[in-house]
Amino acid sequence: MDGRAPDWQCPNTSCLNHTKLVFGRNSHCPSCGSPPEPSMRAFTKEEVAPHVQPNPRGANDWQCPNESCINHLKMVFGRHVNCPSCNAPRMMPEWYAKEELIPDRGNDWQCPNEGCINHSKMVFGRHTSCPSCGTARNATKAGDWLCPNTSCINSKNLVFARNTHCPNCGSPKPMTKGPMTVPRQHVVQFPPMMPTMFCPPAQMVGGKGCKGVNGDWKCPNPSCVNHVRMVFGKNMLCPQCGSPKSIPTPVMQVAMGKGSQGDWQCPKPDCVNHVRMVFGKHDNCPQCGSDKLPQVLWDAGLQEPLPEVFGRPGDWQCPNSECINHRKLVFAKNTECPKCGSPPVEALRTVPARGDGRSRSPYR
């Protein structure tokens, strides 16, 4: 310090210098003429230093005493002796307990997962699940999560952390910002991602199908605005939160800790066995009677039997079930569907010929 007198705050609450400071050399406020009061004097760094203890980062942050200042609700870094916003002096020593100064928002909550960063911090009250690890607000064990399907009973109850899909409706576990560890026996095997316009599994619940334009999809992150709205089909990541596009319906061989080799999934979306499995000895679903799909169609990622169409050898059906060329044909010369841009699947390239093998479809 250069030895100058400490600045002080004008005690007149209607004066401009009540929220600012008066230079220490002044014996009266130059604005209103009020004399200084010892309690309104700003503390110097030398006076503050003995009260500052070597605590973890942020432990010495303090709250601005000026109720009209933005830093009265936020905090000021411990290195400052005056508020950088309104220049109000730091009060001593009762202003050092940071935990007692943070405004109580009431609805904010602590993540029950002890390994999560939000276990020591707080989660905003508007979230029903921790945005970092995905643990639900009312979870009794770390990792338990809420079903993102609002019409499902598990959107209010809990799904055990070991499940990667909701056991009631089949909706996938929402993506989280942090890493998610899943035991090997509960991993679901998916077919390779194809640049087609499939409807995500979360939107196929109840057989209601997709909403919006063909190929548009819903963000799997329940705290994202695009979980209610839609993401354009051309995007492979949500532009709002970065969550990846949901993967199409899983193949028949699913390792969920149940079932065995050869068990298969019913292709009818509104059937209970579309989420569960059918024993491999059955050729038809015992619940709804749907036929078992050939393995080649599951490998292609198709969810329903293909309609029978005829054309020239080499012509192929578009694998996108929402596209008009899924019911008609694409010429063999095309390397992608001219309507939706889906690439051909070799299993669907050869089609039976009828008559002279010529088709009159205008969608070529």
C-alpha distance across the termini of the chain, in Å: 83
* CA gap 27, 22 in Å, rounded: 9
pTM attached to this predicted model: 0.23
Q: Which pLDDT tens digit goes with each residue over 194-247?
A: 333 334 444 443 434 344 556 788 888 888 888 887 888 778 788 888 888 765
Is 71's pLDDT higher than 70? yes
Q: Are 250 and 190 in contact (CB under 8 A)?
A: yes
DSSP 300: T
283/185: higher pLDDT: 283
SS3 217: strand
Length of the chain: 364
pLDDT of residue 107: 76
* CA gap 190, 251 in Å, rounded: 6
pLDDT of residue 185: 39
**Residue of 237, 191, 231, 200 lying closest to 213 (CA atoms):** 231
Q: Where are the alpha helices (DSSP H) in 2-116?
A: 45-48, 98-101
Q: Which pLDDT tens digit goes with each residue over 266-293?
A: 877 778 887 778 888 888 899 888 877 6
Q: Give the pair of three-digit tokens for residue 54.
A: 């070597």
